Amino acid sequence: MHQVGTRALTRAGTMGLMTDLELDERARIWVESQTRSSIAAVTEMGGGITNTKWKVRLSRGDPVVIRWSDPAVWAEKGRDHVQREAAACRLLATSDVLLPRLIATDGYGDVAGAPANLMTWQPGSPRLDPLGTTAVHELARLAVAIHRHPVPVQDRAPTFSYRCPASPEVPDWARRPALWRRAIDIWKAGAPPTPYGLLHRDFHLGNILWDGDQVTGVVDWAEMSWGPADLDVAHICADFAMLHTLADADAFRTSYQALGGVLDRDLDGNRFWIVSDILGFLPDPAHILPGLAGARPDVRPDDVRFGLEELLERTLS
C-alpha cells in the first residue's frame, strides 16, 4: 500500500472514500478511553487509496493514529490487515526497526465498531524525490534489519500471497509483448526453494518516513508476511524503476547486498521473484498514480508502465 501529502501512499485497490466525519463514534470513544484524553481533532490521512487511517489530535499529549477498517467496506480483509499490523508492532517493538508503537488493538471490532489499531504518530515524511547515496544506504540498512529480525515459529506471519492476476495476460500497453509472454511463462513454472523470513510485504517509497537523509520510520505493516526477502527488494526496486531510473533500483539492490542482505543466489530463482512482483502490477501499473498525485504530479501513466517494462527487460536479459 502507499503516506504522501498528509503522510503515506497506499496500493490496495480503491475502496470507498471516507471523510473525517465518518470515523465511527464508537472508534472515537475507544480512542479516548485508551488515551485517557478527549479528542481535539481528527484528520483523515490522505494521499492513498485505502482510506483506513486517521490522525487524531488529543486535548493533551502527542497525536495518535487509528487504523479503522469499516467491515462494510473491508470485511475479513480489514480484520486481517489490523491483526497483521498489530503483530508487527509487537514483534518489532524491541528491534532496531523504527515503526509506530502499538497503544491498543481491537482485532475484531468488539469495542471500536470495526477492527482497529491505535498507534503512536511516527515523525517524518515520505520522499519520492531521487535519493542520494546516503539515503539509499539508510533505506537498504532498514530493509536488512527487517529481514534479519529473528521470528519465533509461533510468531511467524502468514505466508505471503502473490499479487498478480490468477491468469496474467500480456498488457495491451506493452511495447515488448514477447518479453511479457516470457515473464508469464517463468511465473507459471513455479517458485524456487528460496529461504523464507520476515517481510514487510508493501515495502515501497511511500511507506518510508524521513527527516532529511535519515529514516525515521516504516509504516503500514498491514500485509506483514513470511516469505523470501527477494519480494520486498523487488517491490521497492520496481518503485525506483517507475518513479526514477533503473540505476536507482540497481543502487538500492547493490547497497542491500553490501550491507549483508541475502537474496536468492540462484539467478533463475532471483529472477522468478522479480518477475512475480512485476506481474503484480498488472493489468496496469498506472493504478498507483492516484496515490502519487499530490507529491509527484509529473509522473504519467507511460512513465510507470515503461519504467516497469524496462525493469522486466533488464531482469530477463
The CB density around residue 212, as the number of other CB atoms within 10 Å, is 11
| pLDDT at 146 exceeding the cut of 50 | yes
End-to-end Cα spacing for the chain: 29
Digit-coded pLDDT (tens) for 195-206: 999 999 999 999
**What is the three-class DSSP state of 218?**
strand
Burial 7-17 (b: 16+ CB within 10 A, else e): bbbbbbeebee
Bridge partner residues of 209 (DSSP):
217
Give the per-residue pLDDT at 4. Answer: 40
Give the per-residue pLDDT at 291. Answer: 87
Label residue 193 exposed, middle or buried (CB < 10 Å: 0-12, 13-18, 19+): exposed
Whole-angstrom distance, CA of residue 83 vs CA of residue 95: 19
Torsion of CA 181, 305, 273, 279, to 10 degrees: -60
Q: Where are the domains of the chain?
A: 20-120, 133-316
Alpha carbon distances (Å) from 277 to 47, 156, 165, 285: 23, 22, 11, 11
Position with higher pLDDT, 208 vs 71: 208
Give the per-residue pLDDT at 23. Answer: 84
The CB density around residue 136, as the number of other CB atoms within 10 Å, is 20
Alpha carbon 50 to its chain centroid, in Å, reads 12
Give the per-residue pLDDT at 5. Answer: 36
The runs of H, that is alpha helices, within 36-113 are 71-91
> Helix axis angle, 267-279 relative to 229-243, nearest 10°?
60
Digit-coded pLDDT (tens) for 77-86: 999 999 999 9
> Which of 68, 75, 157, 73 lies closest to 119 in space, CA to CA?
68
C-alpha cell at 304: 510507470
pLDDT, averaged across the chain: 92
C-alpha cell at 117: 489499531
Out of 23-37, 50-64, 267-281, least confident range:
50-64
Average pLDDT for 48-64: 86
Average pLDDT for 247-258: 98
DSSP code of residue 304:
H
Give the per-residue pLDDT at 15. Answer: 34
- Under CATH, which number does the domain 20-120 receive? 3.30.200.20
Contact 67, 114 (CB under 8 A): no
Which one of 3.40.190.10, 3.40.50.970, 3.90.1200.10, 3.40.50.300 gives the CATH number of domain 133-316?
A: 3.90.1200.10
State the pTM of this model.
0.92
Give the per-residue pLDDT at 46. Answer: 62
| pLDDT at 48 exceeding the cut of 60 | no
